[in-house]
Structure 1
Amino acid sequence: MPSLPRRRNDAAPARYGQVGVMAAEPEPLASVKANPAISITDDSAAIVLSPTEGATGDGLVFIPGAKVDPWAYAAKLSGIVESGTTVVITKPWLNLAFFDLRSLGAFTSLAPDVDTWAVGGHSLGGVRACQLTQDAEALILFASYCANDLSASGLPVLSLAGELDGLSTPEKIADARPLLPADADMVEIAGAAHSSFGDYGLQPGDGTPTISDADMTETLTSEIDHFFQTQVAD
């Protein structure tokens, strides 16, 4: 067996984790950073988006998709923050959720005023979120599905899929449907592709979205707000 190369310094893994990362589009991100209704804390573990007033006590720990800049989700999630939900966007190790072994508490501790937590994520981040539900009150899947069986968990679940998603296709989500509780809320967003859930450009193999970014944000906000109000107990 060949010997492994010696690590030169501690920055090497960080540099490797940035290879191939899909960057956040600058204009949507700038709009969030300039929004007076949203307070932003950039922690080494996560980005915390908090409502400057009118907080509901609800929170969402959101896990990014593989090799997607966590900041790329800030604009699409800004609507629920304006509605009063605190959002913690994690910064996965090496930008791959499966390598991040931290517990949900490592992220919920960044927003101690939140009483009720949902966990969720996009694509591979959603698969990881399914593994952290034991410490959450609800699960929200963004163009994703579970690999572990939660069918008997009694957990409130919202699954948001894209009609034109070429990666987490509607067929793949349907195939994994038996792993979710029978009363899971399954929503397919017309005109949405895989990349519609963030702002990082198009992905190879994905469909071409026909829904605008503004309409996608509005739809996500409406569906998630309704889910918290009707399905997630305080």
Structure 2
Amino acid sequence: MQQKRRRRAWKVVLWGLLAVVVLGVGGILVWSQVGVMAAEPEPLAAVRADPAIRIDDAPQGIVMTPTDGDSDRGLVFVPGAKVDPWAYASILQGLADDGVTVVITHPWLNLAFFDLRGLDAFTSAAPDIDDWAVGGHSLGGVRACQLAADAEGLVLFGSYCADDLSASDLAVLSISGSEDGLSTPAKVDAARHLLPDDAEVVEIDGAAHASFGDYGAQAGDGTATISRDDMHVAVTDLLVGFFAGFPER
């Protein structure tokens, strides 16, 4: 009788643990799909209408390829947490117009930290390109830092590294915003020592966290004082200048 009671107790415990796991996994799945910040339609429509770029929604991500066929450099870009990847197409449009192939990833569960794929899972979208930089916005930038060992360059939008890359020979461009309420100027500055000494670090006056994508306002962010058009011009100028000398050091 006592043995039966023990077995029954163990069954109750095991079923209870299983229920906790199922509820936990289910909760994460639901949370990852709720509150995803959608791409604004107007800037995205302008990208789709750009004759200088071919856009493919491929398994590797959103691939923006210059139509002149003369692209020899690429950027794999990781979106911020729970931000529609299409929200970054417009701010990266100028770079693609300048001849750089751009791959915007579709992170698993809309969160870069859950996406364990290596960089080659995305660069395979353009196998003829040998020189790649990896970049990202916010938590996507943190993930990009983890993938940077397999790239020649790193681009950060409103982000900073948790990994120490200071001894690497990476070409690095870090762009932040003076009004960013999430990746604040103080946080970006505190992590500066994790980047190489010759990293290009630029703070755009008036830019907020959500200025680095086209998905509307974001909770906890500051208020941007720079217009969308001026922000896109500023970021494009920085990216084009960075890739003009890439991957040479």
TM-score normalised by length of structure 2: 0.88
State the partner residue of 1:27. 42
| Contact 1:146–1:179 under 8 Å retained in 2 | yes
Deviation for aligned residue 1:53? 1.1
* 1:1-234 equivalences in 2 (<5 Å): 2-5=16-19, 17-53=32-68, 55-233=70-248
Deviation for aligned residue 1:89? 0.1
| Of 97-106 and 34-43, the range deviating more from structure 2 | 34-43
Deviation for aligned residue 1:126? 0.3
| Contact 2:134–2:155 under 8 Å retained in 1 | yes
Deviation for aligned residue 1:231? 4.5
Partners of 1:225 and 1:232 in 2: how far apart?
Answer: 13
What number of residue pairs does the alignment pair up?
231
Structure 2 counterpart SS, 1:157 = strand
Partners of 2:54 and 2:226 in 1: how far apart?
Answer: 28
> Could you list the per-position Cα deviations for residues 57-96 of structure 1 after superposition, in whole angstroms to 9, with x for gaps in the alignment?
1110000000000000001100100011110000000000
| Contact 2:77–2:135 under 8 Å retained in 1 | yes
1:178 aligned partner, one-letter code:
H
Deviation for aligned residue 1:115? 2.5
> Could you list the per-position Cα deviations for residues 23-59 of structure 1 after superposition, in whole angstroms to 9, with x for gaps in the alignment?
0001111111111111011013311011111634111
Contiguous gaps of at least 5 residues in structure 1: none
Deviation for aligned residue 1:210? 1.2
Aligned-residue CA RMSD (Å): 1.9
Partners of 1:140 and 1:191 in 2: how far apart?
Answer: 20
Contiguous gaps of at least 5 residues in structure 2: 1-12
The structure with the greater share of residues assigned to helix is: 2
| Of 203-212 and 80-89, the range deviating more from structure 2 | 203-212
TM-score normalised by length of structure 1: 0.93
Structure 2 counterpart SS, 1:22 = coil
> Could you list the per-position Cα deviations for residues 79-120 of structure 1 after superposition, in whole angstroms to 9, with x for gaps in the alignment?
100011110000000000000000000000011122210000
Structure 2 counterpart SS, 1:59 = strand
Deviation for aligned residue 1:230? 2.3
Deviation for aligned residue 1:13? 8.0
Structure 2 counterpart SS, 1:76 = coil
Structure 2 counterpart SS, 1:102 = coil
Deviation for aligned residue 1:179? 0.5
| Of 216-225 and 60-69, the range deviating more from structure 2 | 216-225
| Contact 2:60–2:124 under 8 Å retained in 1 | no
**What is the percentage of aligned positions where both structures have the same residue?**
63
Runs of at least 4 residues of structure 1 off by over 3 A?
A: 3-7, 12-17
| Contact 1:22–1:200 under 8 Å retained in 2 | yes
Partners of 2:235 and 2:184 in 1: how far apart?
Answer: 18
